[in-house]
Structure 1
Amino acid sequence: MRILHTADWHLGQTLNGWSREHEHRTFFNDLNGVIQNEAVDVLLVAGDVFDGINPSGDTQQLLYSTLARFLKSRPGLQIILIAGNHDPAQRLEAPEAVLRELGVHVVGTLQRDGNGVDMDRHLIPMRDAQGVVKAHLLAVPFLRQADLPGLTLSAENGAEPAIVAAARRLHADMTNAAAARAGGLPIVAMGHLTCNGALESEGAERRIMIGGEHAVPPDIFPEKLAYVALGHLHRPQSLDGGRVRYSGSPFPLSATEIPYDHGVTLLDLNEGLVPCHIPLQRPIEVLRFPTTGAAPLQAVEAALSALNLDPEVPRDARPFVYITLTADRPASSLMAEAEALIERTPVRLAGLSIARTELAAPTAPPPTLAETSPEDLFLTAFRQAHALDADPRHIAAFRDAFSEV
């Protein structure tokens, strides 16, 4: 039996106002190819299916049409999704009664019965191509404070923070209940959280806080779990020798993620559920000029020109660019020139910033009004605002304005 671990699709995301739908459709084409070529039996989506709690009708239609396409191209495929911190959990699982009949399981919230967590819902048998149960999936959606009973008391004066102790106990209880039902078959868990020791991505992932903690150690997942498929962190990475893994996002969702080797993770039950990273070609180039630090506008213009981009490429297929400029002239004129450059170049602006030179702190107290003049004050203020000296045009404009006072 083969399992494909994915996460953090973030359907509906925009970048500086630009839709990512073209990239998502390309990713789904590639993902469909992996499902068929690798004879995948189970597709896991470890949370953050959507980018926000109010996805548009078009975004929801993209999700459900994609699931239908996967099921049609790979009959018998099981698809299991959990909610992440970005997802509208109850909306995500609302059509689950219908989807389950098609082999799609959606777990948006932690549900309990009289005996604790409802294991009929959270423990899902995983079947091979012949329909034989070969393993079980323990589905744990993004946990909120209300999902951790006794949180405030669980580790009072204990060796670890209360949130960690409560999360540890919850996963231990669920794993023990799963083992009692699994009949000795392997148990795979799926969750959405941050583990200590994992590398985060600045600018895309929210630090989700419960009880003052935003991360838990990977050993909260009991050794009885053969593999833990996680979402939330966008860099593909493994912990605990590969037993705990983030598959990562499908393509860069922020500037930090440009160097990442995006893809999906394949697991083969016959090979001991050892994770195998399958890289996917980036749907759209996401570039940063310069690659580090800042550069003058002329250098950025030369770098963009060297790309030799086709001006006829449709807008939704044009590269994204992040630009950081050296503040060699006033910010307002520099921004205007940069925006004009982008307008005549077949790219889409993902972010534009200006790196100002830090001024040295004054070594003497500022002069009194009797010791200075309005023009000197203007020159000082201009330098503080723009990290450069006013040129003759600015001085002339100030003198014109001052003469009218």
Structure 2
Amino acid sequence: MTTIDELAQLGTSTWLDDLSRDRLESGNLKELISTKSIVGVTTNPAIFATAMTQGTAYDDDFAQLKAERAKADEAVYSLAIDDVRNACDVFQETFEKSGGKDGRVSIEVDPRISDDADATIAQARELWNRVGRDNVMIKIPATDGSMSAISEALADGISVNVTLIFSLERYKEVIEAFKTGIRRAKENDLDISKIHSVASFFVSRVDVEIDKRLEKIGSDEALALRGKAGVANAQQAYALYLSELENASDLPEGTNLQRPLWASTGVKNPEYAPTLYVSELAGPNTVNTMPEKTIDATLESDSLHGDTLTNTAEESAQVLRDIAAIGVDLDDVFAQLEREGVEKFVDAWNELLESVTPRLT
């Protein structure tokens, strides 16, 4: 019984936040499943940028794509889709044993089109069909421009990972988009028992930005609140999940509730425990997607202390009130983080395209 297994008993599935051709071809991904109890994978443009620009695993594919005169964005998605499809096959047994909840592999739509709902849904459909595996999840960012695409994808029977959520207000919109999509899928006579979704709430980035503002304020009261916002914000999100989804009466029978997923769970401040965003965010019907460093830290620790999500609404709300009262504009923080989140993925995507272009010409 490992700490990851104990997390699973508490209700938190552990997914790996990384994927590469090397992991697939070396058997490393299979090993993580068997030895570290990993039950899913998430990817993003930054992850693929790292994977495709290091080592030699993609050399033969780039040579073939060059011969086919593929453009950079076509080549990158071709390689990413192959990796995700192969990872889906590796997780097929996990997918079946979990009834479709786990064994999931996520691939993200082009972040450059996050403000264009029509382009986003078109690409979500294309990725779903090209990967061609029931256990793929299509990642769509929780931006104003993409919100309707979330509902459209779910209505089509596409399993969706809604990503880049920072604020409770945005999460409320995501929940409504999920409900709308599932109701429409039911109206479309789809088997909604096969549709799964997660809502990816980013954690460590909240602490990075709020800690910076607390340190600028500089009072003892402000400094005492460092490292508390990320967990409190996520716990508030879980309270919203409980009230708006777990206790919902406006969803069709057979709906798989959209699970909260804790993302950006690698600790950025070395003064904080490496498992801070694991031990303090453990609880029923959740997912924690972790970089391997955080997975290893979790396996090496005995820091779990039960369900740290249920019955935390009042205490976590007070933490956020205290932070606001000391002078931190939380609305401004979350708006900035969402904007920067999209920009970082766009930058990673553009850097990846720039790096592969010479290999195709």
Relative to the length of structure 1, the TM-score reads 0.36
Q: Which has the higher contact order (CA 8 A, sep 6+)?
A: 2
The structure where strand makes up a greater share of residues is: 1
The structure where helix makes up a greater share of residues is: 2
